[in-house]
Chain A
């Protein structure tokens, strides 16, 4: 029941975010808002399929190709949004600290592969590495910069927040603690829902 409520909340929020971004894409003829619509749309459809399947069959789908494809696609669009804003180049922040990202994503991928399928987890590891490298590099490159690129800071922060919450959710769900609010999975998923709302002002500021 709790999963159903939480899933419904996320679907409603994503639906609202999708509507806002579609209206902006159509009004402004803007590629970045079209990409954001695709990001929200893909995640929304994945959630909707997942929610409807649970509603009709009382269980998660045995073959979860379709929601997985949708969620993975939303990550592609998130990467495209980041790349769109970095198309004119960003200051490169070269540091050994950045190696933490691939070490973390590949390590977590190995852990998740013990439970899930190889292809999806490998894909997520690759795309998460790219997104986090671009955003963390961009964020570190902005340090002390009060210039034009500083407008990208909220977008970088909300993207990093999104991925921290995704990884937290996946990790917590390895040891399922049941459908109770004591299960941190639900809190992380609510945080993820909030991060969707935060994406809109972040993109608006980045575009300004």
Chain B
């Protein structure tokens, strides 16, 4: 038993207090950090439910169901922000990234609780790998959404399109890291390499 709700309460309590008392831009950033953690919590419920409905085991669920659910849930707060508040590209890009960071942080904490915190090197690689993967998926979504945020049909098709690209990227990452040895190392390194490439190209694309 993971007591994921208890972990969620412990992690988000200071954030909620800070969101209430701190005015300005910092509040928005922390709100999206909280939204990312909430999306992670809800994703775990939905993935578990879908796995039970489909009769999938833990491995099958993490390879086929979780990527679709997690990326969709991460997109929800961002889409809400884009449609209701119509922010600038820079503001929205920051919020996408904060949501991804919140999601990755909560996922990493749950992983630590479940698997222990003894292996420093493995956790270092996993922490950076998973963190980079969620941020990269967030960036993929932001690039697509911003570049295709035109007419309604382009907007709709664009959002579905970039979401599925992010889902596939996430699925490939999960597939690789579920293996042992070189495949897992490659899996952890791919998002970091993509994040580095993104750092070079992302200014041109956003």
Contacts from A to B (Cβ < 8 Å): 22, 25-26, 29, 31, 34-35, 38, 41-42, 45-46, 48-49, 52-53, 56, 61-67, 69-70, 72-73, 76-77, 79-80
CA distance A167 to B168 in the complex (A): 23
Tell me the residues in window 60-108 of chain B with beta carbons closer than 8 Å to chain A beta carbons.
60, 63-65, 67-68
Q: Does B192 contact A (CB under 8 A)?
A: no
**Cβ contacts under 8 Å, B144 to chain A:** 38
Q: CB within 8 A of B167: which of A22, A41, A48, A66?
A: A66
The answer on a CB contact under 8 Å between B165 and A38 is yes
Q: How far is the CA of A46 from the CA of B168 in the complex (A)?
A: 7
Q: How far is the CB of B120 from chain A (nearest CB, A)?
A: 27
Q: Does B13 contact A (CB under 8 A)?
A: no
Supposing A26-B201, A63-B60 touch, asked if A45 and B161 sit within 8 A by C-beta, the answer is: no
Complex Cα distance, B63 from A182, in Å, reads 33
Q: Least Cβ distance of B170 to chain A in Å?
A: 9
Q: Size band of the B side of the interface?
A: 20 to 34
Give the contact stretch, choosing among B4-12, B20-28, B35-43, B175-183: B175-183
User: Is the Cβ of B172 less than 8 Å from the Cβ of A34?
Assistant: no
B162 CB–A CB distance under 8 Å: yes
Contacts of A61 in B (CB 8 A): 63-64
Residues of B within 8 A of A46 (CB): 168
Q: Which residues of A contact B58 (CB under 8 A)?
A: none
* Cross-interface CB contact of B160 among A25, A34, A73, cutoff 8 Å: A73
Are B172 and A65 in contact, CB atoms less than 8 angstroms apart?
no
Decide if A76 touches B64 in the complex (CB within 8 Å).
Answer: no
Which residue from chain A places its CB closest to the CB of B170 in the assembled complex? A66
Q: Write the chain A residue with the least CB distance to B153.
A: A83
Q: Top 5 A-B pairs ranked by shortest CB distance?
A: A45-B168, A73-B164, A66-B171, A63-B64, A70-B168
* Cβ contact within 8 Å between B147 and A26: no
Structural contact, B157 and A76, CB atoms closer than 8 A: yes
Within 8 A of A (CB), among B148-206: 148, 154, 157-158, 160-162, 164-165, 167-169, 171-172, 175-176, 178-179, 183, 201, 204-205
Given A29-B204, A80-B154, are A42 and B168 also a contact pair (CB < 8 Å)?
A: yes
Q: Which residue of chain A lies nearest to B59 when distances are taken between CB atoms in the complex?
A: A57
**Closest Cβ of chain A: how far from B192's Cβ, in Å?**
18
Q: 14 more A-B contacts (CB under 8 A) besides A56-B178, A77-B161?
A: A26-B201, A26-B205, A34-B147, A34-B148, A42-B164, A45-B165, A49-B168, A52-B176, A63-B60, A73-B164, A76-B160, A77-B157, A80-B148, A80-B157
List 12 contacting pairs A-B, 8 Å CB cutoff, sorted by A.
Answer: A26-B204, A26-B205, A45-B165, A46-B168, A48-B168, A49-B175, A52-B172, A52-B175, A56-B183, A64-B64, A65-B64, A70-B165
Q: A69 near B167 (CB under 8 angstroms)?
A: yes
In this complex, the member of A31, A41, A49 whose beta carbon has the largest number of chain B beta carbons within 10 angstroms is A49
Q: Chain A residues near B125 (CB, 8 Å)? A: none
Considering only CB atoms, which chain B residue lies closest to A68 in the complex?
B164
Distance to closest chain B CB from A130 (angstroms): 11
Asked if B52 is at the interface (CB within 8 A of a chain A CB), the reply is no
**Is there a chain A Cβ closer than 8 Å to B54's Cβ?**
yes
Scoring B157, B167, B168, B171 by chain A CB atoms within 10 A of each residue's CB, the highest score goes to B168
| A56 and B175 in contact, given A42-B161, A69-B164 (Cβ under 8 angstroms) | yes
Considering the chains assembled together, what is the distance between the CA atoms of A38 and B154 in angstroms?
A: 13
Chain B contacts for A62, CB-based, 8 A: 60
A64 to B54, CA, bound (A): 13
The verdict on A65 contacting B68 (CB below 8 Å), with A53-B175, A70-B164, A73-B160 known, is yes
Least distance between A190 CB and chain B CB atoms (Å): 23
A56 vs B179: C-alpha distance when bound (angstroms)? 8
